[in-house]
Structure 1
């Protein structure tokens, strides 16, 4: 849905611009620019209103004992956290298609049925943390890789490490793979996270799209966004 709405806005503005250009000398450059701005603002407003009417998914709470990180919707940092003994576990989420470059997810666009997790497990007094990259689905979780990475602050976004990231997970023997699955499952990393993360990602993408339409419209119209009351 998000891709379709943004594409429609771009196509509408481009088509309108071509119509104005075809009039040639009948329209001055200043008038043409003003007309294009007006058409674009209209398209942005229409699509903003369309997106604003979309019904959010039912509210879902994360499974115990995970807690939502304050401000996660407005950042690129982790979404959930929990402690396990002395360990602190942070979970980052995004669409799997956005990571592996898949372009055929339009049919599932609203469902967001394939998620990609960064699971960061840190311990006090250690400079590095244990990092799992996982694919998460409604009924399963699959590990893509396991590596050691530099420990980050809670609000930071995980970046790809330039260090050796360990062997390909599929090249590990079955006993090692099973042990790693047991390790993260013991810490609550499994398909039970999917309902919350799916709903959370939908809300985040909805907010991002609403903000994009609004900020582009304010820029085109040269208006300052009103400051929200503290």
Structure 2
């Protein structure tokens, strides 16, 4: 009789031990369960605050300074907005053989207009975008590139150099600083860009375009962060 009672008891103890091993420690320790609950509540409150701030900021931007639809063309240039990126590309044909590409960064330099020590506001800062002008005359011919600064109302050439069309492992010789060139040569190179539409009018357009893109990308960025925080694991 005793022998029959021992066998079922052993089976019951084995099952009980297996169940205890499968249960999380919080089931055995109420304090752990309480701490986990409080931690989860804090996490939800923290994320809820982030989401509230992001929603408020997005709504504020849309109500007070909404971006406009990007302009797809400027004169003969087509404009590739490059959503989510920090640059845009303009392209056009010139003459029978030339293809011109202009890669333009978002604002990368700001210079105060007032003397040092004064209070500088947004209106007192002069912004710059960088342009890389790529002029190609067909397959097998070197590309002529200009590195330029576009200020609010003027174009400034910084470098001029030629390179092959294929990517190379080492950078090409980029020549001297543009300001070190002969004055007449500088003027001629400015005229070279001018007749191709790389001029002060383009600089003004790019500044207007990039101000709008800056707003658009800021709102897009906040929306991306909001979506990430909202996503449940």
Q: TM-score, normalised by structure 1?
A: 0.67
Residue 141 of structure 1 pairs with residue 155 of structure 2: yes
Once residues 123 and 82 of structure 2 are traced to their aligned partners in structure 1, the CA distance between those partners, rounded to angstroms, is 22
Residue 67 of structure 1 pairs with residue 88 of structure 2: no
Residue 41 of structure 1 pairs with residue 51 of structure 2: yes
Structure (1/2) with the larger strand percentage: 2
Cα displacement (A) at 1:127: 5.5
Once residues 111 and 164 of structure 1 are traced to their aligned partners in structure 2, the CA distance between those partners, rounded to angstroms, is 34
**Match of residue 209, structure 2, among 180, 193, 200:** 200
Cα displacement (A) at 1:62: 5.2
- Residue 65 and residue 131 in structure 1: after superposition, are their counterparts in 2 closer, same or farther (change >3 A)? same
Superimposed CA distance per residue, residues 181-202 of structure 1 (whole angstroms, 9 cap, x where no aligned partner):
1111121110111332222212
Superimposed CA distance per residue, residues 152-181 of structure 1 (whole angstroms, 9 cap, x where no aligned partner):
79xxxxxxx723222111111212212211
Residue of structure 1 equivalent to 2:145: 131
Superimposed CA distance per residue, residues 71-108 of structure 1 (whole angstroms, 9 cap, x where no aligned partner):
54455664322211211111122245x2x5x5869834
Gapped regions of structure 1 (runs ≥ 5): 1-24, 154-160, 225-230
Residue 81 of structure 1 pairs with residue 94 of structure 2: no
Residue 215 of structure 1 pairs with residue 224 of structure 2: yes
Asked if 1 retains the 8 angstrom alpha-carbon contact of 2:71 and 2:79, the reply is no
Cα displacement (A) at 1:137: 2.4
Asked if 1 retains the 8 angstrom alpha-carbon contact of 2:154 and 2:203, the reply is no
Once residues 111 and 49 of structure 1 are traced to their aligned partners in structure 2, the CA distance between those partners, rounded to angstroms, is 27
Cα displacement (A) at 1:122: 1.0
Once residues 72 and 140 of structure 1 are traced to their aligned partners in structure 2, the CA distance between those partners, rounded to angstroms, is 24
Gapped regions of structure 2 (runs ≥ 5): 1-34, 114-119
- Residue 196 and residue 39 in structure 1: after superposition, are their counterparts in 2 closer, same or farther (change >3 A)? same
Q: TM-score, normalised by structure 2?
A: 0.67
Cα displacement (A) at 1:220: 0.9
Higher relative contact order, structure no. (Cα contacts within 8 Å, ≥ 6 residues apart) = 1
Residue of structure 2 equivalent to 1:19: none
Residue of structure 2 equivalent to 1:5: none
Superimposed CA distance per residue, residues 94-144 of structure 1 (whole angstroms, 9 cap, x where no aligned partner):
245x2x5x5869834899743221111112113641111111223321101
Q: What secondary structure is seen at the aligned counterpart in 2 of 1:162?
A: coil
Once residues 219 and 124 of structure 2 are traced to their aligned partners in structure 1, the CA distance between those partners, rounded to angstroms, is 16
Aligned length: 188
Q: What secondary structure is seen at the aligned counterpart in 2 of 1:68?
A: strand
Cα displacement (A) at 1:203: 2.5
Residue of structure 2 equivalent to 1:174: 183
Once residues 74 and 184 of structure 1 are traced to their aligned partners in structure 2, the CA distance between those partners, rounded to angstroms, is 29
